[in-house]
């Protein structure tokens, strides 16, 4: 009986090691996909390129992901998880480091967040989803999830907005739309540094205005 139990434990440990190794390899592939999306863009990111970046053979990669759609689906989920954690970290950092009303620090924190590899990879997939129905469906779900988590994170990180979710949602939506637009302009070499700074300054004023006067035409909740 002791021999059977010992053998069972050994097999269990071996199974655990194999599962951990499989998880590590999947993580390696997803991290490599993020690097490729950020450095060479969506159109040049293929399974062969990802495998090479991860230091794996094409066959080893296909053991975990059969198609590029499978890779993108898992990569998007991976990006979402990491971006939300970075967003929470950014919120904590700007809250600690903010002077005065803190709005400028928070806008700049989000601005810098837009150029992190995770965000660049996310933008690459977002743009590609315009003409890819499978990606479009994935992106819609991802965007809704990210938005809900972003608002929840902001409510937790910035208690001065407590009881004013509609105002906060307007401020978050405005900041996201403006900063993502500016980021796309810079990434595609269409935006000037001076114009970007001016627009961000204007954004800070509008967010402060929402905080001080509330959402136009809406009652506070």
* pLDDT over 60 at 6, yes or no: no
Whole-number Å distance between alpha carbons of 35 and 20: 23
For the beta carbon of residue 210, count every other beta carbon within 10 angstroms: 23
100-114 pLDDT tens trace: 568 888 898 889 989
* pLDDT over 90 at 46, yes or no: yes
Average pLDDT for the chain: 83
Using pLDDT thresholds of 50, 70 and 90, give the confidence band for residue 202.
Answer: very high
Q: Write down the pLDDT at residue 146.
A: 82
* pLDDT over 60 at 4, yes or no: no
Q: Write down the pLDDT at residue 153.
A: 82
* pLDDT over 70 at 15, yes or no: no
Six token digits for residue 203? 């954004």
* pLDDT over 90 at 49, yes or no: yes
* pLDDT over 90 at 16, yes or no: no
pTM listed for this prediction? 0.76
In Å, how far are 56, 59, 66, 169 from 176, measured between CA atoms? 37, 40, 34, 10
Mean pLDDT calculated for residue range 131-156: 83
Whole-number Å distance between alpha carbons of 158 and 139: 27
Which residue from 40, 61, 27, 185 is spatially nearest to 124, judged by alpha carbons?
40
**CA-based radius of gyration for the chain:** 22
Residue 104 main-chain phi, psi, to 5 deg: -65, -40
* pLDDT over 70 at 9, yes or no: no
Using pLDDT thresholds of 50, 70 and 90, give the confidence band for residue 99.
Answer: low
Q: Write down the pLDDT at residue 13.
A: 61
């Amino acid at each position: 009986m002791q021999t059977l139990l010992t053998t069972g434990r050994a097999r269990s440990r071996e199974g655990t090691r194999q599962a951990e190794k499989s998880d590590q390899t999947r993580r390696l592939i997803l991290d490599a996909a993020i690097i490729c999306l950020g450095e060479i863009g969506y159109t040049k990111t293929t399974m062969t390129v990802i495998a090479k970046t991860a230091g794996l053979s094409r066959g080893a990669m296909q053991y975990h992901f059969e198609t590029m759609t499978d890779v993108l689906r898992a990569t998007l989920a991976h990006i979402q998880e990491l971006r939300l954690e970075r967003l929470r970290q950014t919120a904590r950092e700007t809250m600690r480091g903010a002077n005065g009303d803190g709005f400028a620090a928070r806008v700049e924190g989000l601005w810098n967040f837009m150029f992190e590899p995770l965000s660049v990879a996310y933008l690459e997939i977002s743009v590609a989803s315009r003409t890819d129905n499978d990606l479009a469906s994935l992106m819609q779900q991802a965007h809704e999830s990210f938005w809900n988590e972003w608002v929840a994170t902001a409510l937790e990180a910035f208690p001065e907005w407590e009881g004013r979710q509609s105002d906060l949602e307007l401020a978050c939506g405005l900041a996201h739309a403006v900063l993502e637009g500016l980021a796309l302009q810079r990434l595609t070499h269409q935006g000037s540094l001076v114009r970007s700074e001016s627009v961000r300054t204007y954004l800070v004023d509008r967010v402060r205005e929402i905080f001080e006067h509330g959402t136009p035409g809406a009652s506070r909740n």
